[in-house]
């Protein structure tokens, strides 16, 4: 009877019976944790691939090129298409979700078998579970910044002097220089008003002239149009010109433009005086000086003219009226220089100068000169130049000039300067 009541060893028996169950739960928890970790990592790859594809599509407008960019991004993160392994699908536009069929958006779907430990041992499961990640990216809105000063090291890369007046109320100013005085205010008679002001290095002088106060030690921003295609950074080669003029040195009156996506090249140092330019790309291979009234015709679904300064400088002389309030000097809205009103390729570091007296007017389009200085000087003449523009230059100097900046990309949906974001 005593032996029947003896319960010693019963716990060991219970543990022996329950241990497989406990181990099963532990194995299941481990498998689920590994699957969640694998899916999270795969989502990072999909997000990166979608952003890379959208950036490529923004600049190249090619679905095949965007797909290649997505594959390259995924490969950088260790995911490549393989039989029985990962599979990457790139849909332009997306095939599902709230942005299905919407042009300009890219959908990336990645599936991959992920190995399991416990499930493959205790069930008929083959030892892996297919996980999937999906991401959609696009460029639904304009860049938040409209002034980019790209020089990485220059002291006073952006210099504002005297009674300057720079107004960029709805967009940001970015200064890439890491110099301790990358943004320099000289005197205390001017104002800088922007949506934001960020500087990689530091600022100096009368920083109270800036509203808001500059944010220093910011992260640098790369040239947002560097990889665009056809690339403004590369300029227009002579062989790409629809016509080449080797003799003209002065243009006056109404000039019939070369037309959409075409360019006329002038090899001489040029002077434009009281000129109305038709649609197209005007390429100056030895610089150009503007004087008098300079306007461009504006045609529906195309826009106006691009001034491409391949080499030499760009100068706006005393008293020049660059466009008018009613008829701005306007960039094309389609074609290889879509959105670009004034440009110097990266190979041209010659100064862009708008100065001397009462030059005024209205300019609409991106100013793109990634290796050049943009120099504005009024000397008390009341420049009053209104720019609906995004400015991308190496350095920016404003000495007593008044310049009102409205973001071009915020006003023109076809602008190449867009903000690529994940939307799904």
Interval 327-340: pLDDT, tens: 678 888 888 888 89
Q: Answer yes or no: do 263 and 356 share one domain.
A: yes
Q: Answer yes or no: do 268 and 393 share one domain.
A: yes
Q: Answer yes or no: do 242 and 378 share one domain.
A: yes
Q: Higher pLDDT residue, 37 or 51?
A: 51
Identify the burial level of 152 via C-beta atoms within 10 angstroms of its C-beta, where 0-12 means exposed, 13-18 middle and 19 or more buried: middle
- Residue 133 in domain: yes
- Residue 281 in domain: yes
With 90 as the cut, is the pLDDT of residue 13 above it? no
If you average pLDDT over residues 97-120, what whole number do you get?
83
- Residue 215 in domain: no
Q: Answer yes or no: do 123 and 270 share one domain.
A: no
Q: Answer yes or no: do 287 and 410 share one domain.
A: yes
With 90 as the cut, is the pLDDT of residue 268 above it? yes
What domain count does the chain have? Answer: 2
- In whole angstroms, how large is the CA radius of gyration of the chain? 30
The Cα–Cα gap between 271 and 249 comes to: 6
- Residue 1 in domain: no
Looking at residue 369, what is its pLDDT?
94
Cis? peptide before 230, omega within 30° of 0: yes
Looking at residue 229, what is its pLDDT?
45
- Residue 79 in domain: yes
Q: Higher pLDDT residue, 373 or 192?
A: 373
Q: Answer yes or no: do 130 and 230 share one domain.
A: no
User: Could you read off the pLDDT of 164-200 as tens digits, one per residue?
Assistant: 778 887 789 999 999 999 999 987 778 888 989 999 9
The Cα–Cα gap between 18 and 23 comes to: 9
- Boundary of a domain, candidates 108, 142, 176: 142
With 90 as the cut, is the pLDDT of residue 394 above it? yes
Q: Give which of 169, 148, 158, 139 is closest to 407, Cα–Cα.
A: 169
- Residue 137 in domain: yes
**pTM for this prediction:** 0.76
Q: Answer yes or no: do 265 and 377 share one domain.
A: yes
Q: Answer yes or no: do 131 and 266 share one domain.
A: no
- Residue 170 in domain: no
Q: Answer yes or no: do 108 and 235 share one domain.
A: no
By the 8 A CB rule, do 414 and 337 touch? no
Q: Where are the beta strands (DSSP E) in 200-241?
A: 203-205, 210-211
Q: Answer yes or no: do 133 and 241 share one domain.
A: no
- Residue 2 in domain: no
Residues of the chain above pLDDT 70, percent:
81
- Boundary of a domain, candidates 142, 169, 196: 142
- Boundary of a domain, candidates 115, 142, 169: 142
Q: Answer yes or no: do 238 and 138 share one domain.
A: no
User: Could you read off the pLDDT of 50-101 as tens digits, one per residue?
Assistant: 998 888 887 777 888 889 999 999 999 888 988 878 899 999 989 998 888 8
With 90 as the cut, is the pLDDT of residue 312 above it? yes
Q: Answer yes or no: do 269 and 129 share one domain.
A: no
Containing structural domain, residue 126: 10-142
Contacts with 279 (C-beta within 8 Å, 6 or more apart), sequence order:
257, 259, 260, 296, 297, 299, 302, 303, 304, 305, 332
């Amino acid at each position: 009877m005593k032996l029947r009541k003896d319960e010693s060893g019963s716990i060991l028996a219970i543990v022996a019976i329950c241990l497989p169950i406990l181990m099963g739960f532990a194995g299941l928890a481990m498998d689920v944790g590994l699957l969640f970790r694998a899916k999270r990592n795969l989502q990072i790859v999909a997000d990166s691939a979608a952003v890379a594809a959208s950036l490529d599509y923004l600049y190249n407008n090619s679905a095949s090129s965007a797909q290649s960019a997505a594959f390259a991004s995924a490969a950088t993160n260790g995911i490549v298409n393989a039989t029985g392994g990962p599979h990457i699908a790139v849909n332009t536009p997306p095939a599902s979700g709230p942005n299905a069929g919407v042009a300009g958006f890219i959908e990336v779907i990645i599936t991959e078998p992920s190995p399991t430990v416990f499930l493959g041992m205790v069930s008929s499961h083959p030892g892996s579970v297919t996980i999937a990640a999906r991401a959609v990216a696009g460029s639904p809105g304009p860049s938040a910044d409209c002034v980019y000063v790209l020089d990485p090291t220059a002291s006073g890369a952006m210099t504002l002097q005297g009674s300057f007046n720079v107004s960029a109320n709805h967009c940001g100013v970015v200064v890439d220089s890491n110099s301790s005085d990358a943004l320099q205010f000289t005197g205390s008679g001017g104002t800088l008003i922007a949506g934001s002001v960020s500087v990689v290095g530091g600022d100096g002088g009368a920083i109270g002239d800036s509203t808001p106060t500059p944010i220093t030690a910011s992260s640098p921003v790369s040239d947002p149009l560097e990889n665009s295609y056809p690339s403004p950074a590369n300029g227009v080669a002579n062989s790409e010109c629809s016509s080449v003029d080797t003799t003209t040195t002065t243009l006056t009156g109404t000039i019939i433009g070369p037309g959409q996506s075409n360019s006329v090249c002038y090899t001489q140092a040029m002077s434009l005086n009281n000129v109305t330019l038709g649609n197209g790309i005007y390429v100056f291979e030895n610089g150009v000086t503007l004087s008098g009234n300079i306007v461009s015709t504006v045609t529906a679904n195309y826009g106006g003219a691009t001034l491409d300064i391949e080499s030499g400088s760009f100068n706006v002389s005393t008293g020049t009226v660059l466009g008018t309030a009613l008829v701005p000097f306007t960039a094309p809205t389609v074609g290889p220089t879509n959105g670009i009103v004034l440009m110097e390729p990266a190979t041209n570091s010659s100064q862009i100068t708008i100065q001397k007296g009462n030059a005024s007017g209205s300019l609409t389009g991106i100013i793109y000169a990634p290796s050049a200085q943009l120099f504005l000087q009024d000397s008390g003449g009341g420049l009053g130049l209104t720019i609906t523009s995004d400015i991308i230059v190496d350095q920016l100097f404003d000495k007593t000039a008044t310049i009102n900046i409205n973001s071009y990309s915020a006003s023109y949906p076809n602008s190449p300067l867009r903000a690529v974001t994940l939307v799904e």
